[in-house]
Amino acid sequence: MGWLITILLTLIMCFGYFILLWGAVGFVQNKKFFSSAPKEIKDAVTEKMERFKHQHILGYIMLILAFILLLSPIGYQIYYSIKNDVFYWFIVIRIIIMLFGLELFDIILFDYILLCHSNFFPHYYPEVKNIVGPHLFGYNKWVHFRHFIIYIIAAFIIAWICILF
């Protein structure tokens, strides 16, 4: 049952990550949120006026919801591990599954599908229509590599904290 919970929590985190991107790109539309985008896109993006009343407020509400959806599954996994006295290595593996799943979701959905093979970004920022495309896939591969390393370290630390309690 614990593994099903881990998969469900990973999917919740992925949904939160999508809400984070959609809220930032589609509703808040602040150039500061493009810090991880390719340089060509950062340079082309312009500040946008609200398309409808309270658009930016809706975007910030989406960002808050996204952070809840991203962080609460990790919190629940910690709670579940402590409550059920889960073995250290199971905690490590479950946290790694969750965080690696989130990173793979980022690579596949955000980078490959939304950035390189869809109209997602040009829909909200028409000025990037001729910039996005398959040639951008992999522009941030070292960032993803660093995330995988950080996630492994984080999993060991989280599991250690769970064992202490």
Residue with tokens 């049952």: 1
CA-CA distances (angstroms) from residue 58 to 22, 48, 91, 94, 139?
A: 11, 15, 36, 33, 30
Helix (H) / strand (E) containing 89: helix 88-105
Longest dimension (CA), the chain: 54
**This model's pTM is above 0.75:** yes
Q: Is 13 in contact with 94 (CB distance < 8 Å)? A: no
Q: Is 97 in contact with 77 (CB distance < 8 Å)? A: no
Q: Is 20 in contact with 67 (CB distance < 8 Å)? A: yes
Helices (H) and strands (E) in the chain, counts: 6, 0
Give the pLDDT of the chain (165 residues) as one tens digit per residue: 678 989 999 999 999 999 999 999 889 888 788 877 888 888 888 777 777 888 889 999 999 999 999 999 999 999 988 888 888 999 999 999 999 999 999 999 999 999 889 989 888 888 888 888 888 888 888 999 999 999 999 999 999 998 988
